[in-house]
Structures are given as structure tokens and as C-alpha cells.
């Protein structure tokens, strides 16, 4: 698909004079940007037709660099890929600031350390974790030995008459727990940066996955010969659920501790949980002691299914009762939409009530693709004028946003520049909703992008002020800037 644009972008007739002036400031002097090949610059040293001129550099998290350059005919964009050693990548500079870990590969650092380490944690974090690791190793060695004694005491493996057979049975049992632990390792290493954004969602998903793990446990009675693989799968699912549950609930506990009393809040939560555990175990034993229920497997399964559905419903109600005053992406969408449409923002209670705990971001309309590569944003085109115009429009922003004109449904691509913050993400969401409500498909898209930024310049400060008055914590905006791709700009 080839797209061409005129030298001077026309302004729609509906734009008022004061809006036009602001938009012209955004677009800059495009006539000089799109100057024809025949024109001569006063300073011959400023342009060399024998060289390529770098406009943007796209940096990937794995160290790869993609340069977008002007070809010497000034009509098409030429790109080049360079692979760099990740240790020299500027995006990984935060890792290099701690010489103790300079020998570790970056992929392993990202797996075991919080994003932004060491600047994102306190100075004593690393020393504590290095000592905590062998502490946990010795604890689990003791757990394995104690489990062996417990299982042998109740007769596991004892019928064979040999200690070796008994030990083999114990090893299989402990291995079941080990396979489950792999699930927690994967969740913590791969998805650790998600829980601060949406603890409600991940706490709910933890219960869904835990329910699936319990189904594997229930089937062991039907297929006792496959006890170890079924129980291992059950433990794996429940371990993944625990890996989602624990960090999510810690975020929720921190939300409760408004007086800095996190330890006391956690201790009292234990009181509630243990009391519920004792009551639940008592009722469970009472159900199992009911005549005929233990021997009737279908009745047992139907009873479990009923209790589990009730459990999930109650969990959903409890999470829906939470009232966060921090801004994540779901709540940002609700707040921005209200401000764009009605010039006001809802309070914490109303916004949290409207927040959908279960929804995935990819299914929320309008759809926003964060961290999109420039090649996709340019619709596969190589037009120099198109790229230059986009760069000029967003020269004062820490991101670049374009509308995907290949989709029937409204969709935008957003790519962030080096130095972008959570506020940059919030601004891109505001611009998206304004475009969603005001986009005219028959008008020049560049004019409309510039107009949306002009509107945002006029109204965003008011938006932030309204957030503060409505009780929102504008100092804690949990909108994560994607680190997979970032953009560096160079003067044209």
C-alpha cells in the first residue's frame, strides 16, 4: 500500500483560527520539511546528498538497533539493523550500575530482579536476597526429610518390606511438589511486573487456575494408577495460582495499610484466614462424614463443584469491593473517557465500581497497541514525507501515536521515546479517546493528529487537577512504559 501526501497539509475548514494557530505550531514549517529536490539550502554544509540522514533509532530490549534513514533521493526511507552486545545496550544501563552482578547475563537479571534494579528497590535488597536464597534451600531440605518420616509413618511404601521402596515412594511424592514449584518460578520470573498494575484481575485469575488444578486432584480417585502425573499437574496449576495470588494480595494489603502498618494488616489478615480455614475444614469433615457421600464419587464431585462456584462468586464480590485511589490502565480509560466526553472525572468509588475485574486489555475498546514498531505504524510505507511529518507532530511528546487505517474498528499504535514516563502513557490514552470520539475518516489524518494534541494541551492540565480534587493519587500512576521497544530522535 503506497501513501503519498501533499507538500503543504490543508487544515479542515471546521478548525477555528486560534485552534489553527496551535496546530500549526505542532506541525511546524512543513514546507521546509517537504522541500523539493530542486530547491537549494543557503548553507550547503547542512545537507549532503551523498549521505543518508538518520531520523529515528528504534532500540529493542535484546540490544538490536534499527535505524530509519533518509535515502539520498529524499523520497523513500532506508532502514538498517544492527545487533549489539546487550552488555553495551543503553537500555540495560540500570543493571550495569551494580558491579556485583556484572557477570550475570541480562536475561537472567531480568528474570530474578525487579525492573529498574537497583534504582527501584532499597539498598539492602540484594544482600537480603543473597542470604535468603540459601536459607530457603536449607528449609526445603528439612521439609523433604520431614515429609519422608511422615509418609513412612502412615505406611507409604512400607508394604514392600524394603527401605528402598519406601524411599522411592517418598521421592515420587516430593517430586510432585517440586514440579508444582516450577510453576511459581515461571510466574515470578516472567510476569512479576504485572501485579502492581492490576492486582484485582490477577487475584481473580489465580482462583480460576487453582480451580483447574483441583480438577486434576479429583481425577486421581478415578485413575489411581496415574496418581503421580495427575497430582503433579494439579500441583503445577495450584503453584501457578499461588504465584499469581501472593504478589497480588501483597499489593492489596499495601493498599489497606494507609498508616504504614503493613505488618499489622498482614497479621490480622492471617487471623481472618486461619479462622476461615478452621471453619472450612470442620465443615468439610462434616460433609465427608455424611453417610453415603464418601462412597458416591459423583455426589462428591457435584458437591465440590457447587462449593467452588460459590467460592469464585464470593471472590469476585470481595475484589469488586476494593476501592483503589491509584490509576492503572483500566481506571485510566474510565477517567479519560469521562473527561473527554463530559469534562469531568468520576471519584474513586464510582470508577472502581465501573472497573471490570475480568476484562483483558486487548478486548477493551478503543484498542490501544502499546510498544508497536515503527514499521507497523507506518503501514509498511517508506514515505519520507510521512515519517518526517509524524516526527514533527510529536516533537514535544514522549511518544508517537498513529491511527491504524487498515482496520475497520478504531485502533491506534503507540511507541514510546526514551525518557517516557507513566504520564506519557496517560497522555497517549487521553489522545486516543479524543480521536475515537472526533476522528473524521474523510479528513487529513495528520491534521487530526495535530488537532488532538492541541486539544490535549488545552485540557490535560485541567484533567490532572480534577483527578486530584476527586481523590486520586496523581503521584502514583501505575501505567507501565513498555521496555521492549523505545525510540531515540535525531534532528532532521
Same domain, 338 and 477: yes
**CA-CA distance, 440 to 14, in Å (whole number)?**
11
Domain count, the chain: 2
Q: Choose the final residue of a domain: 286, 320, 354.
A: 320
Q: Whose CA is closest to 239, among 188, 289, 277?
A: 188
Q: Is residue 345 part of a domain?
A: yes
Same domain, 372 and 307: no
Same domain, 279 and 371: no
Same domain, 357 and 414: yes
pLDDT at residue 14, as a whole number:
38
Same domain, 373 and 255: no
Q: Is residue 411 part of a domain?
A: yes
Q: Is residue 461 part of a domain?
A: yes
Q: Is residue 167 part of a domain?
A: no
Same domain, 463 and 333: yes
Q: Choose the final residue of a domain: 267, 289, 320.
A: 320
For the beta carbon of residue 274, count every other beta carbon within 10 angstroms.
10
Same domain, 357 and 298: no
Using an 8 Å Cβ cutoff, are 53 and 74 in contact?
A: no
Q: Choose the final residue of a domain: 320, 342, 363.
A: 320
Q: Is residue 389 part of a domain?
A: yes
Same domain, 465 and 335: yes
Same domain, 373 and 259: no
Q: Is residue 140 part of a domain?
A: no
Q: Is residue 180 part of a domain?
A: no
10-residue mean pLDDT series, the chain (492 residues): 35 41 49 35 37 73 77 64 55 47 71 68 67 67 59 54 59 63 62 71 89 87 83 82 84 85 83 84 79 72 86 89 91 95 94 90 89 78 75 91 85 92 95 93 88 94 95 89 83 59
pTM of the model: 0.74
pLDDT at residue 42, as a whole number:
37
At a CB cut-off of 8 Å and minimum separation 6, what does 421 contact? 398, 481
**CA-CA distance, 54 to 77, in Å (whole number)?**
10
Enclosing domain of residue 246: 199-320
Same domain, 212 and 312: yes
pLDDT at residue 463, as a whole number:
96
Same domain, 338 and 309: no
Same domain, 336 and 485: yes
Q: Is residue 349 part of a domain?
A: yes
Amino acid at each position: 500500500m503506497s501513501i503519498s501526501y501533499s507538500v503543504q497539509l490543508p487544515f479542515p475548514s471546521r478548525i477555528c483560527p486560534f485552534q489553527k494557530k496551535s496546530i500549526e505550531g505542532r506541525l511546524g514549517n512543513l514546507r521546509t520539511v517537504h522541500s523539493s529536490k530542486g530547491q537549494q539550502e543557503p548553507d550547503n554544509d547542512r545537507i549532503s546528498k551523498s549521505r543518508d540522514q538518520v531520523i529515528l533509532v528504534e532500540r529493542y530490549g535484546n540490544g538490536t538497533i534499527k535505524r530509519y534513514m533518509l535515502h539520498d533521493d529524499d523520497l523513500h526511507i532506508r532502514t538498517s539493523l544492527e545487533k549489539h552486545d546487550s552488555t553495551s545496550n543503553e537500555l540495560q544501563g540500570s543493571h550495569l550500575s551494580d558491579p556485583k552482578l556484572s557477570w550475570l547475563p541480562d536475561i537472567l537479571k531480568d528474570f530474578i530482579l525487579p525492573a529498574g534494579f537497583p534504582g527501584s528497590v532499597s539498598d539492602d535488597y540484594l544482600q537480603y536476597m543473597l542470604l535468603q536464597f540459601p536459607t530457603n534451600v536449607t528449609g526445603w531440605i528439612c521439609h523433604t526429610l520431614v515429609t519422608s518420616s511422615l509418609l513412612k509413618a502412615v505406611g507409604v511404601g512400607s508394604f514392600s518390606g524394603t527401605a528402598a521402596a519406601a524411599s522411592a515412594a517418598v521421592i515420587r511424592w516430593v517430586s510432585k511438589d517440586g514440579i508444582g514449584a516450577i510453576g511459581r518460578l515461571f510466574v515470578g520470573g516472567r510476569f512479576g511486573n504485572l501485579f502492581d498494575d492490576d492486582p484485582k484481575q490477577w487475584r481473580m485469575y489465580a482462583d480460576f487456575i487453582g480451580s483447574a488444578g483441583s480438577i486434576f486432584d479429583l481425577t486421581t480417585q478415578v485413575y489411581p494408577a496415574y496418581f503421580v502425573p495427575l497430582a503433579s499437574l494439579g500441583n503445577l496449576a495450584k503453584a501457578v495460582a499461588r504465584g499469581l495470588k501472593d504478589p497480588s494480595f501483597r499489593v492489596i494489603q499495601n493498599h489497606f495499610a494507609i498508616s504504614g502498618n503493613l505488618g499489622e494488616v498482614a497479621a490480622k489478615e492471617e487471623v481472618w484466614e486461619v479462622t476461615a480455614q478452621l471453619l472450612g475444614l470442620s465443615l468439610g469433615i462434616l460433609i465427608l462424614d455424611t453417610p453415603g457421600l464418601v462412597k458416591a464419587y459423583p455426589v462428591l464431585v457435584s458437591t465440590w463443584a457447587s462449593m467452588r462456584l460459590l467460592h469464585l462468586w464470593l471472590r469476585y464480590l470481595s475484589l469488586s469491593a476494593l476501592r483503589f485511589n491509584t490509576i492503572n490502565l483500566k481506571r485510566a480509560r474510565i477517567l479519560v473517557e469521562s473527561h473527554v466526553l463530559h469534562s469531568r472525572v468520576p471519584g474513586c468509588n464510582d470508577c472502581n465500581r465501573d472497573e471490570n475485574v475480568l476484562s483483558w486489555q486487548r478486548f477493551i475498546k478503543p484498542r490501544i497497541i502499546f510498544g508497536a514498531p515503527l514499521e507497523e505504524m507506518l503501514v509498511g510505507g517508506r514515505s519520507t514525507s510521512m515519517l518526517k511529518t509524524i516526527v514533527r507532530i510529536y516533537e514535544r511528546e514522549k511518544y508517537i501515536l498513529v491511527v491504524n487505517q487498515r482496520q475497520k474498528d478504531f485502533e491506534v499504535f503507540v511507541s514510546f521515546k526514551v525518557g517516557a514516563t507513566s504520564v506519557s502513557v496517560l497522555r497517549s490514552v487521553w489522545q486516543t479517546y479524543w480521536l475515537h470520539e472526533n476522528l473524521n475518516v474523510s479528513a487529513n489524518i495528520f491534521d487530526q493528529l495535530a488537532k488532538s494534541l492541541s486539544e490535549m494541551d488545552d485540557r490535560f492540565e485541567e484533567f490532572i487537577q480534577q483527578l486530584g480534587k476527586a481523590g486520586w493519587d496523581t503521584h502514583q500512576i501505575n501505567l507501565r512504559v513498555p521496555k521492549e521497544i523505545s525510540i531515540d530522535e535525531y534532528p532532521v
